[in-house]
Structure 1
Amino acid sequence: MKDEKLTQDISPQQAEENMETADQQAEAAQEETGQIDWQQEAENYKAQAEELNNRLLRAMADMDNMRRRLRKEQEDLAKYASQKVVEELLPVLDNFERALSADKESMTVDSLLTGVDMVYRQMVQVFEKEGLAPIPAKGHPFDPHVHQAVMQASEPDVESGVVIEEFQKGYLFKDRVIRPAMVKVNA
């Protein structure tokens, strides 16, 4: 009833004007709301960008720290790489010191040679344990990858290309030649 009374009291022209005003107010409210949504969305994107930027900076700092730590570890590894071998050679050094400090008057040549032989075998064991191995030479075919020919000879009873004499031992460290054997090869 009230609605009928309201519509009767207002002229059609006034009702149309009121409708236009209401539409304009609704559009203004929508624009305002849309603007607020746009501003809110812009602020959200800005916050996300800042968060991503902070995460990127932290990740870059972590990467720099990791590089520094890795470089330090590599330097330490290179610096102390031979520590294990040195520790294993210390007993050999101790035995040499004992031999040198032994009573010279009571020492015989045989006891000295026995002591030197024991120290030599101990040192060879340390090197073998670390992966050092002698290169077989005498009686083996000449291999330019592991042998260095310094002389040639002609012996009729030995096959051609076979090592007949070794002047200096060669050594392999694991799978790498660290010193080729100096040899005489039969021509």
Structure 2
Amino acid sequence: MTAKETKKVEPSAHNETAEKPEEKMEQEEEKDMAAALAEVMNKLQESEEKVLRLAADFENSKKRLEREREISLKYAEENILKELLPGIDNIERAMDQGQEANNMESLLHGVELTRDGLLATLEKYGVKAIDSIGQPFDPNIHEALAMEETDAMEPNMVLREFQKGYVYRDRLLRPSKVVVSKPLGSGA
């Protein structure tokens, strides 16, 4: 080899050694990036698992609440039914007293007390009797069974009640069945 060739070879060898540290740096950067990527992938997987657990917890809570709601609706009447039982007990006691004493007054008093107790229980739950007698006829809460001529009241007033009506909060449970007044001489 000549000196020129040697010189040519030397720079080339020098370039190879210069590239080696760059390659080393690139490899280290790749390792760092791979480690960072692995860490990010780990965190992503953990987050996905957490989201899946939260979604499953949410679904389980939803199902549990639905079951509780169904049970609550199924037994919603339980409290009112328990409170109506003393009314039945009172009716039975009144019947027993009526048979023993053969006293209608005692029986009537027992029935009145029972009615009052039942009405109090119903009112506790939002059921109220409609006061109709002497009130203007209202087709929203009254059912007119008959009309009767009278001068004792203005026309279209409730004279008598055949059956009491009831409202539950703001809803009509049953209209009052009533007789409505009409002016004298108004015909059939």
Normalised by the size of structure 1, how large is the TM-score?
0.79
1:120 to 91, 115, 124: 115
Q: CA deviation at 1:55?
A: 1.1
**Structure-1 residue corresponding to 2:37:** 42
1:162 to 150, 153, 157: 157
Q: Give the RMSD, CA atoms, in angstroms.
A: 2.6
Unaligned runs of 5+ in 2: 1-5, 183-188
**Structure-2 residue corresponding to 1:179:** 174
For 2:138 and 2:161, the matched residues in 1 are separated by 13
Q: Which moved further from structure 2: 168-177 or 98-107?
A: 98-107
Question: Percent of counterpart pairs with the same letter?
Answer: 32
For 2:175 and 2:148, the matched residues in 1 are separated by 19
For 2:176 and 2:31, the matched residues in 1 are separated by 86
Q: CA deviation at 1:91?
A: 1.9
- 1:28-177 matched pairs, under 5 angstroms: 28-102=23-97, 104-155=99-150, 158-177=153-172
Q: CA deviation at 1:173?
A: 1.3
Q: Which moved further from structure 2: 136-145 or 70-79?
A: 136-145
**Structure-2 residue corresponding to 1:6:** none
Unaligned runs of 5+ in 1: 1-10
Normalised by the size of structure 2, how large is the TM-score?
0.78
Q: Which moved further from structure 2: 176-185 or 75-84?
A: 176-185
- Give aligned pairs, total: 177
Matched to 2:101, the amino acid is S
Matched to 1:131, the amino acid is G
